[in-house]
Amino acid sequence: MPKVTMPQLGETVAEGTVTKWFKAVGETVDKGEALFEVSTDKVDTEIPSPAGGTLTAILVPAGQTVDVGTTLGLIDEEPEAVTVREQPGARNDAEARAGDPPLPDSTRGRGDGTTAERLSPVVRRLLAEHHLEPSDVVGTGPAGRITREDVLAHVAAPLASTPATGEDAAVSPVVRRLLREHGLSVGDVVGTGPGGRVQRRDVESALTRSSGSDEVVPFSTIRRLTAEHMVRSKATSAHTLMVREIDYENVERVRRRHGASFKEREGYSLTYLPFNAVAAVQALGEFPHLNASVGDDALIVHGSVNLGVAVDLDGQGLVVPVVRDAAALSLGEMAARVRALATGARSKRLTVDDMSHGTFTITNPGPYGTLMTGAIINQPQVAILATDGVSRRPVVVTGADGEEMIAIHSIGLVALTFDHRVIDGAYAARFLARLADILETRDWAREL
């Protein structure tokens, strides 16, 4: 029987935290299909199933941290021979997806056929998926045992006392009951389920906020690790911020002229980020002490530029996938590589290797209209560049005849946070001046 084990996610990674199971005990899984999610101190990633068959045991529940190589579950490749079992306290897939707790202990030990241990895996999964407890469903099987048909019939039938109409029809009976008991409608609650569907946890959260009580939101693994990394960075480096105004009109003309055809060809928009990335990489070639790390009483200047690009995980945290050998990429290649890494990060498809060996980092809050960002250095690097919002503004420019005039250009700020232990202000200022010159004068159109 194939074992599901904690994988080795990088040479220096010794343990991992199981954050989610995508399959419930008793469900079938195909080889290579995402089976569970692991969080380490470097990356969150989905792990594919090592074999096809039926998941017969979850030995390590979500939220538990174990060493690499630990057996997490078992898969039976012969479904007809399955004997389903689950480690006490382990949450199954449907419960993890719904965000609701396991079936309560109050349902155990009943003699009317609703004892949780007597329910089949399929029934347990259906109950969890529809936010139901065994006591919500009338069993028609032997000794009142709940069958699959009983659960489906209960879900399909409207509540006798309050027929489900309009928005209410899209929520489970348990959610409708909670809404009715507390005088709420579906429109009063922000849904976090698939497609914005209102779940039980959403109603309970809304009730907590309505009561004026404080809500305790535990740090996720990625939030906790980010906090530790940021505090350690501030305690390590002598952070210094330097800001430069950039005239992006040269870039904006190219975006206006080629943006539509680029999107039609590539399937995504041509943003400012790849321009900033290519320009930064070129400038780093001339100012290599910013493409460096701090070693043991020494500055380690890296021979190639591995550009880290900070990616926001929909407010859940930040990760920094790395564009390897970035100096070899054209504008179009940089845009494609950055997009692929960002998409992979948000879908948790990246490996530890995708997140390692960065030598310089860019963070890009500009799409949200920020003015100036003082980012924290990604250790052990010595600098990080923040690219902020670009807006149309009146500026003084010099005409072909040498006369000054007022024109409307696209203007934005870039902010370099550097480690003053190893970089002086003049060196950082010259780097920013060269970055501005590249953005303002490079023939970007030739690269598209």
Q: Is the distance from CB of 152 to CB of 177 less than 8 angstroms? A: no
Backbone φ and ψ of 416, nearest 5°: -105, 120
Asked whether the beta carbons of 331 and 262 are under 8 A apart, the reply is no
| Residue in the block written with tokens 């027929």 | 163
Looking at residue 421, what DSSP letter applies? T
- Look at the block and give the residue holding tokens 């914005």: 196
Q: How far is CA 279 from the centre of its chain?
A: 27
Which residues are identified as catalytic? 420, 424
Q: Quick one: tokens of 225? A: 């690790």
Q: For residue 20, what are the β-bridge partners? A: 37
CA–CA separation, 397 vs 407, rounded Å?
7
Q: Which amino acid makes up residue 302?
A: H
Per DSSP, the residues of 131-181 read T--GGGS---SGGG---HHHHHHHHHSPPSSS---GGGGGS-HHHHHHHHH
92's torsion region: left (phi>0), alpha (psi -120 to 50) or beta? beta
Cis peptide before 380 (omega within 30 of 0): yes
**How many Å apart are CA 248 and CA 276, to the nearest integer?**
10
Contact (Cβ atoms closer than 8 angstroms) between residue 158 and residue 167: no
The Cβ of residue 190 has, within 10 Å, a number of other Cβ atoms equal to 11
CA 388 from centre of chain:
21
